[in-house]
């Protein structure tokens, strides 16, 4: 996924399914380096993880 699409997803009110390593995640923010994003798994656990933007996939 590219940074432009992530910005669109973050500004959208729609529920857009994004996967990281086959798990559904919410994107919390794009990090200052512009190459990583902070995400957390959908569901009760809200542990946040920093991941490479290129590893995120829109379903």
Domain count, the chain: 1
User: What stretches of 1-59 adopt beta strand conformation (E)?
Assistant: 18-20, 23-30, 36-41, 48-52, 56-58
What is the per-residue pLDDT across 29-51, written as a single tens digit (0 to 9) for each?
999 999 999 999 988 877 899 99
What pTM value is reported for the model?
0.88
Mean local confidence (pLDDT), 12-16: 95
Could you list the residue range(s) of the whole structural domain that residue 19 is in? 3-58
Contact call for residues 18 and 25 (beta carbons, < 8 A): yes
């Amino acid at each position: 996924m590219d940074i432009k699409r992530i910005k669109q997803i973050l500004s959208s009110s729609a529920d857009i399914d994004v996967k990281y390593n086959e798990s559904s995640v919410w994107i919390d923010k794009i990090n200052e380096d512009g190459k990583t994003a902070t995400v957390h798994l959908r569901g009760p656990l809200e542990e946040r993880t920093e991941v490479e933007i290129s590893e995120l996939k829109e379903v």
